[in-house]
Structure 1
Amino acid sequence: MDADAQLLDSITLPGARELVYGRPFETRGTGRPRALLLHGADLEVHALGSLFAGDRAPDVVFPLPWPGWGGGVHSVDPGLAFAAFSGQRSVRAVRADGSTRWVYEHACWDQRVGHPHTGDERQVCSGSESGSSGVSADGRFVWAHVVLEAGDDPDDYLEGWVVLDAETGRELARLPMPDSVASGSWHLVHPDGVHMGLCVGMGQDGVLVYWGRWDGRRLTVHDGLNDGLDRILFDVHPDHAGFLTVEHYGNDLQLHALDGTVLAENEEVRWDHGCGFLDGDTVLVTTQVEYDSDPGAHGTWLLDARTLERRGRVRYPEGTADGLVRALGDGTWLTCGGTRDTVHRWTV
């Protein structure tokens, strides 16, 4: 059955487009999503509810430690004690006053063999590749996608996933990733408070997806999706009933158990790179504009969260854009408005 979209509110502010097209929200699925927005050389942390209520003042601002660095995906401690910045040659934990809590140095993301480093603090080379960080749900650990080794020979290049102590930056565990030659990546905190997800984009070479758990002694990693290198991680069910991926080119949408087992699949149409759990019962997803074998299938759809069967299409008010969506898990979702800096929040 089709459903009408009801506009709840809208905001207009610089960089608002990232609320829809950017990385997943911090504290996703807890009912209090938190948005991270880069504004100049600052990382602003906003409670999403406050933003849409008209409060434009960020909860806290963390200064970016490397002027000129535009790469990496950063994360923030749940208690707002620090931000974990993913740089080109280090991960750095920074307090709101700009002081450094710790630095974890690693090899350079710039994949040019043997390029020189100036030794200064800018840590900005010419390469466009970058990693990411994710602070655990309890704030005790920082997970980071980094370069472990990079020498004068291309065969020396090795990426990895490391678990760091959030207090000291000490490395607790690492997973070498010999198959990864990343363009970029992002982390996704599982709502069980224990697991961390990592999705690595490698351009035309495909995608890698990992789920990790650190119990204080042993690192356990699930990488069952990586044989095909073709699935993109998007969201986790708020009640831990699985996670969503879309095939690299949109050919199907799948629901998985943590080990990668397929629990449900929908390959009726070509899906776009934007989907998520609207709530515990419903998945919200869009189809690709280029999908023209059945023009009537284009749009935003509601799917059953456990079977991925289509329930109906979302009808927007006349004159509003029907574009990519960002489901928030609380029965609402976001879309971009008529300008890059306007975002609308909707419910059914």
Structure 2
Amino acid sequence: MPITAHLRACVELPGAHALVDGFAGESRGDGSHRVLLRSGHELEVHDLAEVLAGERAPLAVFPLPWPGWEHGVHSVGPDGTFAVFSGQRAVRAVGTDGETLWEYRHGCWGPEIGHPHSGDEQEVCRGLEHGSCRVSDDGRLVWAHVVTEPGEDAWEERWVVLDARDGRELAALPLPDSAAAGSRHLSHPDGVHMGLCIGMGQDGVLLHWARWDGEHLTGWDVNSTMDRILVDVHPAHPGFLTVEHYGADLRLHALDGAVLAEREPEAAGEEEDPPCWDWTCGFVDADTVIASTAGADGEGSRHWLLHARTLEVRGAVGYPAGPADASVRPLGDGTWLTCDPDGRHLRRWSERP
């Protein structure tokens, strides 16, 4: 029996698809949500609650330090006064006036080992590989996934913790098994732990957690299968959700990686091939998970509500306006977002009116 979704808001937001099915959203432990949208040579920062109330003006606008660089996952300080950009050869903090506050240089993400640069900081080298960064919820730290150049014929990826005031490196963890195509950070609501999910294309996925206590950086990986995507963290206890690389199952983990619950996708209707979970899923609230499935051919997407602690399926979501786009972004407050197929209209839903 379908669970009818109730529409709470519908607004036009150019770039809405990047929020629901990309890395344009940034959630913080206080329950706030920021929207980071690229607009030409600028990064616009919006407050999601204000956007859903109809406010179109951004909270802040930051000039992109490398306008030709279109990759990397960036972050904004909690007070909105600075942004940190993950570039091809540097992590850079920038003020709203475009002034460089600090820069942390690292090796080039370009796939050609030892390739030369012209000396022009705006030069973009071949390749789509990139890292990511995340400002901590208290604004004191910047976590960044970077690459170093230890020798002429080899380089290594690292996870570094930087002082958000000046970019000084406080600690680093080597990532010798990683050959990243890209990555993203996920901040735990406890304000202490940070997750890092590294996608390596057909070679799988790496998942790391770490904590910085002010003196020591402690990290551990959850890479027994090297094939799990980190998708969300529980808003009330130190657990997190992962999806198998190809969508075969959804798992709830304790922070040390132990599996607490597991669920394979359910078929609905006369399907010849089993469906798979999409990677856009997560906690609607402390008790409920929303997840989406699609058929083996990518068609026939459905959204499902599950019990948060057992992942038992409660039912499929029915939308009054017809099927939603495959992607879904839960907000942890009892609501979730979908995007219309036009990529511009954002809808907010809840289970209860």
Query: Normalising to structure 2: TM-score of the pair?
Result: 0.93
Amino acid at match of 1:206: G
How far does the alpha carbon of each residue in 1:82-134 deviate from its partner, in whole angstroms, 9 at most, with x for none?
A: 11100000000001111111000000000112211011121411121000001
**Structure 1 Cα separation of the partners of residues 27 and 20 of structure 2:** 16
Percent of aligned pairs with the same amino acid: 61
The match for 1:194 is 192
**Contact 2:38–2:44, Cα closer than 8 Å, also in 1:** yes
Pairwise CA distance, 1:316: 0.9
Q: Specify which of 216, 225, 228 is matched with residue 225 of structure 2.
A: 228
**Structure 2 Cα separation of the partners of residues 322 and 43 of structure 1:** 25
The match for 1:71 is 71
Amino acid at match of 1:108: C
Superposed, which structure 2 residues align to 1:43-82 within 5 Å?
Answer: 43-82=43-82
The match for 1:336 is 339
**Contact 1:187–1:197, Cα closer than 8 Å, also in 2:** yes
The match for 1:239 is 236
Pairwise CA distance, 1:222: 2.0
Query: Normalising to structure 1: TM-score of the pair?
Result: 0.94
Change (3 A) 1:166 1:322: closer
**Contact 1:87–1:123, Cα closer than 8 Å, also in 2:** no
The match for 1:178 is 176
Superposed, which structure 2 residues align to 1:263-282 within 5 Å?
Answer: 263-269=260-266, 270-282=276-288
**Contact 2:28–2:137, Cα closer than 8 Å, also in 1:** no
Q: Runs of 5+ in structure 2 lacking a partner?
A: 267-275
**Structure 2 Cα separation of the partners of residues 39 and 275 of structure 1:** 26
Pairwise CA distance, 1:58: 0.5
Q: Runs of 5+ in structure 1 lacking a partner?
A: none
Q: Specify which of 268, 290, 302 is matched with residue 296 of structure 2.
A: 290
Amino acid at match of 1:125: C
**Structure 2 Cα separation of the partners of residues 137 and 271 of structure 1:** 30
**Structure 1 Cα separation of the partners of residues 45 and 241 of structure 2:** 26
Pairwise CA distance, 1:268: 4.4
The match for 1:129 is 129
Pairwise CA distance, 1:338: 3.2
Pairwise CA distance, 1:151: 4.6
**Structure 2 Cα separation of the partners of residues 67 and 24 of structure 1:** 17
Q: Give SS of 1:19's match.
A: helix
The match for 1:255 is 252
Amino acid at match of 1:174: A
**Structure 1 Cα separation of the partners of residues 79 and 27 of structure 2:** 11
The match for 2:120 is 120
Pairwise CA distance, 1:78: 0.7
**Structure 2 Cα separation of the partners of residues 318 and 88 of structure 1:** 42
Pairwise CA distance, 1:14: 2.2
**Contact 1:159–1:177, Cα closer than 8 Å, also in 2:** yes
For the aligned residue pairs, the C-alpha RMSD in angstroms reads 1.8
How far does the alpha carbon of each residue in 1:251-303 deviate from its partner, in whole angstroms, 9 at most, with x for none?
A: 110011111111111124431121110001000001123279xx9x9621110
**Contact 1:132–1:144, Cα closer than 8 Å, also in 2:** yes
Q: Give SS of 1:274's match.
A: coil
Change (3 A) 1:271 1:290: same
1:104 aligns with 2:107: no
Pairwise CA distance, 1:75: 0.5
The match for 2:269 is none
Amino acid at match of 1:342: H
Q: Give the number of equivalent residue pairs.
A: 342
**Structure 2 Cα separation of the partners of residues 268 and 55 of structure 1:** 38
Q: Give SS of 1:66's match.
A: coil
The match for 2:141 is 141
Q: Give SS of 2:285's match.
A: coil
Amino acid at match of 2:336: W
Q: Give SS of 1:18's match.
A: helix
